[in-house]
Structure 1
């Protein structure tokens, strides 16, 4: 009988088994290492995305009483300003294209529009500075102060303001404006120096013409009045506008309405602060002589000290055409209206006294105080100036207070689109 076959079990050489285990272990370590490297790469990429999409945009570019102004808010605002200024520039260029530079009758308007164009170009260049951030700081200061005072703006007021900016009136205004061009809306005060709501310096006359009234600017050119539009026309233009600001600046309708809200709060806060301005103040009634050189000032002072009438000398030698014919009479004025050196010298004098030579940016002065009043009613023009500058003066002080405002701005936070060449 044949023997049953035996099952042969292969015998693995220990040396071979050891080699296979080492290879398998090596492969496991390779897989683990590759997994770790991949995880690290994904982690770095993920952190970079989080940094770019979440952390950096949320980082404050400034804080106002602890309230952060986010970087992405600042960047959208700057892009919005560039969009607005580009729109202004395009409108001015269109108007200039319709004018004949060789037509004498159009030269004044051409010059005026060119000045406006240059101003806008200057404002565009300011977008790469801290100017837009200062506007946002002002906006936050206004919000906080309005809240403290209980000043509010209703959604209905915002809606009405938007409608009026697009020249849509539910109740037509009287008289009805003369039809000419379509409206262009700016939900911020017209930019001056830095775009929008840029604080205007206190209206302090230059001592070269030291009169307490405001120095007149260029003669206003009448602006064409837009035709009132229908409700359907308003909705169409408003929707188109929202699409434009969304595309060019990333602003939502809520952002737009917030800009309008701040604009209305600014107006109400300005009125409230203006009403608080004192109507009386310490004042002096003074005269002055202005000349170009120290030697000329000393010569005028020598004549006065020898007994010549101050007003007569002023009429003969003063270069201040606004007061020369009046014997250098400046009228009554309070502190804060003249250059500091002039003010300090004038308010240090008693009635009848004459100063020494006082130097300012305008030249060299001799000052005589005629009268003094510790608490005199302010001239209406000065009172109006003080009321109009009350909010700006307050904002200027608050912005400068490091306990109130902290800034973290750097040039790398400026949106790249803003630094692109200005369109021709």
Structure 2
């Protein structure tokens, strides 16, 4: 008769050992999973931090409004693009004016300044942050004033920049001359009998010892502002030409500066908003101010000035003394006549003296400036329209003052996380990086 088999009996000790081993395997598994998850999270955070979080960190804040690293880098690439385009244009002018050493040297110096800025990340970076802080302040002010820029206005800016006017080319508004056509009094014509129509003041000039007109040289604008544009020089074209030109320009921006259309449109929108706020802030700048017609005798020493002044008191002819003693060779042969001029054209000491004079024919005491000693005679004074250049200067001065005052009233913080992250693209074409 076969024996009946019995199930193996597992002792408590064996059961305890099996359970302990099972728990150990579970712990090892959990630790392995935890480590694996931690590694994935760390790697994932690194990727997210590199691709997103770092770009969202502020390089500056304006009363709590963040200016991100991504915004900074986009603008830095755009500013580099504009600076390079400006450098290329300057190089073309340099070639065009190479027969004139003075002009060629001027363009060379401008090119070198641009190259220096392109090669100095800190300088370019600080400029970009200044721009973005200013734009944040402009946006705050625009919101207060209810000023906006529509998509249609941005599109119109594109069209005008490329010379495309779907509603017809706008008619230029003629510039009014600041010089009156009034006849001069017998007293004025007696004081200056050598001319019935006084010479108009040179434009521009910075001192009364010279009346030579400065030769202006072409220069492209780089920084966004009330008179600048980020577009190429406009030329008349059809709608098809406009679309093609804009498409090519956007493609160049994308390829060379890594700027997409959306980002570029926002840059243009900021420029238009700047202009609107600028116009509002400077709306009340006076468009008229005092103009004077004066002549002077310029001498080198106070002793010479005293001799001339004494001669005038004794009835000597002003024009004859100017021809005899004045060191201002540009005016002495016409009696020292400086013509009509407004503020901002002469050195401050001269201006303060002549604009404080009130009586036609009045002669000043000797006035010292960096050029010597002036004896000035007032020949005319009246209110006239401010010249275009002067009005532009006055508006810019008022806007700059407003901007600085506003900055002082806000909490503005600048960080340094951008210093090692200033873009180095786009780059100068070969041959321009000297």
Aligned to 2:391: 387
Paired residue secondary structure (2:115): helix
Superposition TM-score, scaled by structure 2 size: 0.62
Shift of 1:155: 3.5
Aligned to 2:423: 417
Aligned to 1:354: 365
Aligned to 2:254: 246
Q: For 2:257 and 2:145, locate their aligned partners in 1 and report how far apart those are by CA, in whole Å.
A: 32
Equivalent residue for 2:54, pick from 48, 53, 56? 56
Shift of 1:248: 3.3
Paired residue secondary structure (1:161): helix
Task: Determine if contact 2:305/2:375 at 8 Å carries over to the other structure.
Answer: no
5 Å-filtered alignment, 1:251-400, equals 251-269=259-277, 275-279=283-287, 297-300=301-304, 303=307, 307-309=310-312, 326-327=335-336, 333-334=342-343, 354=365, 357=368, 363=370, 365-366=372-373, 378-380=383-385, 382-400=386-404
Q: Deviations over 1:239-298 (max 9, x none)?
A: 23223323333433333333333444445555555552224557888777777xxxx544
Shift of 1:88: 4.3
Aligned to 1:198: none
Shift of 1:123: 5.5
Aligned to 1:159: 155
CA change 1:95–1:35 in 2 (3 A) is same
Aligned to 2:222: none
Q: Deviations over 1:135-158 (max 9, x none)?
A: 334444444445544555444343
Q: Deviations over 1:146-183 (max 9, x none)?
A: 554455544434323312322333356499xxxxxxxx
Paired residue secondary structure (1:69): strand
Shift of 1:75: 1.5
Aligned to 2:164: 168
Shift of 1:392: 2.3
Task: Determine if contact 2:366/2:374 at 8 Å carries over to the other structure.
Answer: yes
Shift of 1:133: 3.0
Q: For 2:74 and 2:394, locate their aligned partners in 1 and report how far apart those are by CA, in whole Å.
A: 29
Q: For 1:389 and 1:271, locate their aligned partners in 2 and report how far apart those are by CA, in whole Å.
A: 13
Paired residue secondary structure (1:9): coil
Q: For 1:388 and 1:285, locate their aligned partners in 2 and report how far apart those are by CA, in whole Å.
A: 22
Task: Determine if contact 2:298/2:327 at 8 Å carries over to the other structure.
Answer: yes
Paired residue secondary structure (1:61): strand
CA change 1:301–1:42 in 2 (3 A) is farther
Shift of 1:421: 5.9
5 Å-filtered alignment, 1:209-228, equals 209=208, 216-219=214-217, 228=236
CA change 1:33–1:225 in 2 (3 A) is closer
Higher RCO (CA 8 Å, separation ≥ 6 residues): 2
Shift of 1:76: 0.7
CA change 1:174–1:22 in 2 (3 A) is closer
Matched, 1:408 2:414: yes
Superposition TM-score, scaled by structure 1 size: 0.64
Q: For 2:328 and 2:421, locate their aligned partners in 1 and report how far apart those are by CA, in whole Å.
A: 47
Aligned to 2:67: 69
Task: Determine if contact 1:398/1:405 at 8 Å carries over to the other structure.
Answer: no
CA change 1:356–1:92 in 2 (3 A) is closer
Q: For 2:212 and 2:132, locate their aligned partners in 1 and report how far apart those are by CA, in whole Å.
A: 28
Q: For 1:284 and 1:100, locate their aligned partners in 2 and report how far apart those are by CA, in whole Å.
A: 37
Q: For 2:348 and 2:47, locate their aligned partners in 1 and report how far apart those are by CA, in whole Å.
A: 54
Aligned to 1:81: 79
Q: Deviations over 1:99-147 (max 9, x none)?
A: 696xx5x889867765664564356457624223333344444444455
CA change 1:327–1:232 in 2 (3 A) is closer
Q: Judge which range, 59-68 or 391-400, deviates more.
A: 59-68
Shift of 1:61: 3.3
Task: Give unmatched runs, 5+ long, in structure 1.
Answer: 176-203
Q: For 1:148 and 1:239, locate their aligned partners in 2 and report how far apart those are by CA, in whole Å.
A: 35
Q: For 1:227 and 1:94, locate their aligned partners in 2 and report how far apart those are by CA, in whole Å.
A: 19
Shift of 1:79: 0.5
Task: Determine if contact 1:92/1:117 at 8 Å carries over to the other structure.
Answer: yes
Aligned to 1:134: 130
CA change 1:50–1:157 in 2 (3 A) is same
Corresponding residue pairs, total: 374
Task: Give unmatched runs, 5+ long, in structure 2.
Answer: 172-202, 220-231
